Amino acid sequence: MNTMKPAILIPLLLIFSIHNAYSQKVDTLNNEKIIRLSKMGLQPSVLITKIQTSYSLFDVSADGLITLSDSGVHADVINEMINTATAAENALASQKNSNDPLSMHQPGIYYYDPSNTDQLVRRVDPTITSSTKAGGFGSALAQSYSYGLANDQIKSTLAGGNSRLQIKDSNPIFFFYFNPETSMSQDNWFFATASSPNEFLLIKLTERKDSREAVIGTANYYGSNSGVSGKITMGFTYTNPLPGVYKLTLDKPLKDGEYCFIYASSTPSRFDNNKVFDFGIQAETTTSTK
């Protein structure tokens, strides 16, 4: 009869405990769960306590309220759901309208502009990129003679010659916001997966006539590898003044041009239809025209 050694059992128990604790933390209440719990015969006071101590995503529209009532959910529970949904909407609006960079915002990257007192922080909007394999006849010929071992460059391309966000400061400051209580969406997927700016890269983009690009990896017949050259990465440091809030400063001034933050854990294959956070620097151009 095989027995499990204590040295192995304890780590396994720890793993299960952590998994259970995490599962409880991310448990989210919605209308369907409230209806199911109500039909189990739980008292309204129990459901209200559960709502007050859980994450929630309630539909309190007219149709949602009709379904809840028709399903036998107690009026006190419905009122608590409405209050909770309203509080969440107000908190979200407060975050979006906040002019204090040290208050929590919607997850993302924000440019801090002390000269604009009406809008101290401005969100750096994500831009969709496409990936292409650099090559041509010379590359195809190299692949044939190397039996597929020769590497082609994988380029990530952004449409348009310039970013919508143009900054007139060669030493811009950025704020990163990571809010674990915000539901994950397509735009903030990076900030639900990452936990600090250390998981991002700031790179210099090569400007073309109608696009911007950067080499983000290599590929051959046998597969692909991610890797951004150190020649185009810009150094930065950051502080963590509050939980989930990071203030990022650059190691040295940026030259005029186009840049973007990318999620460092992305692979070349995932850069297809992926997103980066791009901006431009026009500090020298602005100075020379004064």
d(CA 80, CA 74): 10
Q: Please classify residue 280 by burial: count the beta carbons closer than 10 Å to its beta carbon, then call 0-12 exposed, 13-18 middle and 19+ buried.
A: buried
The residue behind tokens 């966000």 is: 165
Identify the pLDDT of residue 54.
87
Q: What is the pLDDT of residues 212-229, one digit of tens each?
A: 998 876 655 444 455 677
Beta strand 223-226 with 275-281: parallel, antiparallel or unpaired?
unpaired
Domain ranges of the chain: 6-97, 108-288
Identify the pLDDT of residue 227.
66
Residue 265 DSSP symbol: T
Identify the pLDDT of residue 270.
43
CA distances from 1 to 4, 8, 9 (A): 10, 17, 16
Identify the pLDDT of residue 230.
76
Identify the pLDDT of residue 43.
94
Closest CA to 248 of 235, 240, 237: 237
The tens-digit pLDDT sequence of the chain (290 residues) is: 444 444 433 333 333 343 344 334 446 899 999 999 999 999 999 999 999 988 888 999 999 999 999 999 999 999 999 998 888 777 666 555 578 898 888 889 999 999 998 889 999 999 988 866 555 444 444 444 444 444 677 788 899 999 999 999 999 999 999 876 655 555 566 776 788 999 999 999 999 989 999 887 665 544 445 567 778 899 999 999 998 899 999 999 999 999 999 887 654 444 434 789 999 999 876 555 55
The DSSP-derived string for 79-138 is HHHHHHHHHHHHHHHHHHH---TTS--SSEEEEE-TT-TT-SEEE--EEEEEEEE---HH
| DSSP H or E run through 67 | helix 62-70
Those residues whose C-beta lies under 8 Å from the C-beta of residue 238, and which sit 6 or more positions away, are 176, 196, 197, 198, 246, 247, 248, 249
Predicted TM-score of the model (pTM): 0.58
Q: Provide the CB-side half-sphere exposure for 224 (13 A, CA).
A: 22
Residue 253 DSSP symbol: P
d(CA 88, CA 180): 14
Identify the pLDDT of residue 252.
96
